[in-house]
A and B are shown apart, each in its own frame.
Chain A
Amino acid sequence: MPDLIPVTILTGYLGAGKTTLLNRILTENHGKKYAVIINEFGELGVDNDLVVDSDEEVFEMNNGCICCTVRGDLIRIIGGLMKRAQKFDGIIVETTGLANPAPVAQTFFVDEDVKAKTRLDAIVTVVDAKHLLARLDDSPEAADQIAFADVIVLNKLDLVTPEELARVEARIRSINRYAEIHHATRGNVDVTKLLGLNAFDLGRVLESVPDFLDEDSHTHNEHLNSISLSLDAPLDPEKFNIWIGHILQTEGQNILRTKGILSYKNEDRRFAFQAVHMIADGDFVAPWKATDKRTSRIVFIGRDLNRPQLRRGFESCAA
């Protein structure tokens, strides 16, 4: 297997401090080279040798999935970057403030050429601690960006009181309980907490998931929330495929992300499953350790999720 180039997607609402964070990442002395893909309407300059302008051109795949939208410009740009003799350590894709993260993420699931050369490392969302609550009330994109995130940088901490911060964090957790949250002022986050995370290598993420068995947190008016399910009995892969296929086909528009680490019957390797809306991908990863409790875990982040129904379905996949 060739070394796949890690790709970090940097999202965040206008004014949240995305470009400041990006410049901070690029100028920090880490000795690594990054190719940066930005939108031409970005308000601030980006300080890097290799910056590529993109037009965020989204198109709908003719593959029967009604919400399978893909960024064609990214496919083209990544193909072009791979031709360069001068190599780099990673790619950072900055999206515009209003962008829905789904097409960017789906690009890395759908296109075979992109999959052959790169891997999605993490979706990092920058939010403004002072204005997030207002943004969440007036724009669905702001909530989607939080729901999609593997890592959330809670920026502009110097502008809020501890009480305001607690409210903002609670609100983020009500949407996405499984993202890592880092506090920041003017984007001062350690780069190692943002890049090279392998967040899509689900084992680590799901192992660190807190409160697996507690009840869902209360949701607000956006109806976005996250739930997790676990099962100690090994799964029948065929049953699981039929069930998850059906769930994503029928509910995929409302389910933004699905991640799972699964224990299949008669299989010593863990199976990592993930999906963005209806587009799913899965592969065997490192084997269970002898000391591991082989618990299958799956997380859904989406709108109006029906926990009892999902739980019954998941449990029915037991071998």
Chain B
Amino acid sequence: MSDFDALLKARGITETLGANITTGVFNRAGSHAAFALGDGSLRLADGKGWSRINAHEGAILALAPDCSVSGFLSGGDDGKFQRVGVDGSVIEIAGFGMKWVDNIASFAHPKSGLLACTVGKFVHLFNADGSKSRSLAHPSTVSGIAFDAKGKRIAASHYNGASLWFTASTSETPRFFEWKGSHLGIAIHPLGEAIVTSMQENALHGWTLPDGKHMRMSGYPSKTESFGFTKSGKWLATGGADAIVLWPFFGGGPMGKPAVELGMSDGAFIKRIACHPEFEVVAAGFDDGSVIVADIMKEKILPVCGPGRGAITALAWNASGSHLALGTESGFAALVDFSKQG
């Protein structure tokens, strides 16, 4: 049993943070991982130690790397959208009163960086310096957002489909992709070939770009809370089942192609997925607290940590893919070093 924790013990630093971890990400430089907590604090780990920043009044609901190399963006149920520095500085970008800031995304670029947050039915777009750009209205509450790889478009999921907006346009109408039901999260293919949403009915739905053909991916025993494309865009890695379910986005797939399943567990469901930034490798975190890393081409599974510390709620690679951050519902956090060691 302790074998499952071998990698964590040999290559990890761990900490018990004392509150529900809601999400976690690395900054763009990869120097710090940030964990967002239900008590409103952000905990930073830089590989040597941990620090605490009291960022929000209530729970932190959303977290993303800032456009800058080292900072973070956070949103909470206190209605605040904030910029948090590794030096502990907290700057409010916007405040929304009683409304919650549910989702955050950013697009880094030397000239045209963008920040986005969702509040109710709106996606609010900001320039990299925090100045307001536009507010995009939707028919119902926005449940997820994603920039495309070039920052030219932003996609939003909501009831009855998804909306795709050009970030530089002033048009009030997005391209609307319709599919009845409640869509809970969204991802854009890295080469811009498709958008995919997760749904209330334990399924995913997708549309090809630019022609908008439907793709249905179903058969999950629970909701897919987390999913993403691999670096090449060949695979869509998804949670919600007792194994990593990989849909092939090549050779005409996923339509009419079976999904590949990797890393079958003993009855635990996957809560978080993190695709490696360089290789066709996926990390998966389960509701029993265990984490695995799967090499898709070699079909090899590497256990990272075993069960028993609460459901995984945070899972992220740094930009080079040398470190994996993981956190759980009960406040256990770890950084695991995957770099070659001499």
- Give CA–CA (A84, B38) in the complex, Å: 4
| Inter-chain contacts of B141 with A (CB < 8 A) | 55, 57, 72-73, 76
- Give CA–CA (A63, B141) in the complex, Å: 22
Which residues of chain B in 148-167 are interfacial with respect to chain A, using CB atoms and an 8 Å cutoff? 159-160
Which residues of chain A in 33-84 are interfacial with respect to chain B, using CB atoms and an 8 Å cutoff? 51-53, 55, 57, 59-63, 70, 72-73, 75-76, 80, 82-84
- Give CA–CA (A53, B99) in the complex, Å: 7
In the bound complex, do residue A80 and residue B39 qualify as a contact, i.e. CB atoms below 8 Å apart?
A: no
CB distance from A164 to the nearest CB of B (A): 40
Chain A's closest residue to B313 (CB) is A83
CB distance from B328 to the nearest CB of A (A): 13
Chain A's closest residue to B140 (CB) is A57
A290 within 8 A of B: no
B61 within 8 A of A: yes
Assuming the contacts A59-B182, A73-B141, A85-B20, asked whether A80 and B201 have C-beta atoms less than 8 A apart, the reply is no
Which of A70, A72, A112 is B223 in contact with, Cβ under 8 Å?
A: A112
Main secondary structure of the interface of A (DSSP, over half): mixed
- Give CA–CA (A113, B20) in the complex, Å: 16
CB distance from B177 to the nearest CB of A (A): 16
In the bound complex, do residue B59 and residue A80 qualify as a contact, i.e. CB atoms below 8 Å apart?
A: yes
CB distance from B311 to the nearest CB of A (A): 10
In the bound complex, do residue B200 and residue A57 qualify as a contact, i.e. CB atoms below 8 Å apart?
A: no
- The count of residues in chain A whose C-beta lies closer than 8 Å to any C-beta of chain B is 24
| Inter-chain contacts of A111 with B (CB < 8 A) | 200
In the bound complex, do residue A85 and residue B180 qualify as a contact, i.e. CB atoms below 8 Å apart?
A: no
| Inter-chain contacts of B102 with A (CB < 8 A) | 76, 80
- Give CA–CA (A83, B141) in the complex, Å: 19
Complex interface bits, A90-111 against B, C-beta within 8 A gives 1, otherwise 0:
0000000000000000000001
Assuming the contacts A80-B100, A83-B20, A85-B39, asked whether A70 and B77 have C-beta atoms less than 8 A apart, the reply is no
B88 within 8 A of A: no
| Inter-chain contacts of B61 with A (CB < 8 A) | 80, 83
| Inter-chain contacts of B140 with A (CB < 8 A) | 55, 57, 59, 72
CB distance from B36 to the nearest CB of A (A): 9
CB distance from B69 to the nearest CB of A (A): 28
Complex interface bits, B214-241 against A, C-beta within 8 A gives 1, otherwise 0:
0000000011000000000000000000
B297 within 8 A of A: no
In the bound complex, do residue A61 and residue B120 qualify as a contact, i.e. CB atoms below 8 Å apart?
A: no
- Give CA–CA (A59, B40) in the complex, Å: 31
- Give CA–CA (A189, B309) in the complex, Å: 44
Complex interface bits, B5-26 against A, C-beta within 8 A gives 1, otherwise 0:
0000000000000011010000
Which are the 10 A-B pairs with shortest beta-carbon distances?
A85-B39, A83-B59, A85-B19, A85-B38, A84-B59, A83-B38, A72-B182, A59-B182, A62-B181, A83-B22
29 contacts between A and B (CB under 8 A): A51-B98, A55-B121, A57-B140, A57-B159, A59-B200, A60-B181, A62-B180, A62-B181, A63-B201, A70-B182, A70-B200, A73-B141, A75-B200, A76-B102, A76-B143, A80-B59, A80-B61, A80-B100, A82-B20, A83-B20, A83-B59, A83-B77, A84-B20, A84-B58, A84-B77, A85-B19, A85-B37, A85-B59, A112-B222
